[in-house]
Amino acid sequence: MSIRLTVQLPIKAGEADAFEASAGPALARVRAEDPGCEMYALFKSCDDDTRFVMVESWATAADLDAHMTSAAMGDVGKALGGFIAGAPVMHKYED
């Protein structure tokens, strides 16, 4: 059973381009290094450049749990943390 997440990320006004530039390498590292990663993608709102959403898919709950403490995930936090304007909102789904 796959586990899917959406993570809504509010970004500081005027920081969208810098956020996306920082996100690219960090997200690529997760896709390359974290076992069970089926999808790890960032999307920007069409009507509000301060709203982004991460869409993730993991092969198993154990893969997601391991990702949450992985070195690659730590780098995501370091790369993106300074751009975040408020608390992310995460929703978890399974199929």
Query: pLDDT tens digit string along 34-91?
Result: 999 999 999 999 999 999 999 999 999 999 999 999 999 998 989 899 999 999 999 9
* pTM for the predicted model, two decimal places: 0.91
Report how far residue 49's alpha carbon sits from residue 47's, in angstroms, rounded to the nearest whole number: 7
Q: List all residues 6 or more positions away from 44 whose beta carbon is below 8 Å from its beta carbon.
A: 16, 20, 51, 52
Residue 79: both structure tokens together: 């790369």
- 76 and 53 in contact (C-beta within 8 Å)? no
- CB count within 10 Å of CB 82 equals 11
Tell which residue, 16, 24, 23, has the closest CA to residue 44: 16
pLDDT at 85: 97
- 95 and 39 in contact (C-beta within 8 Å)? no
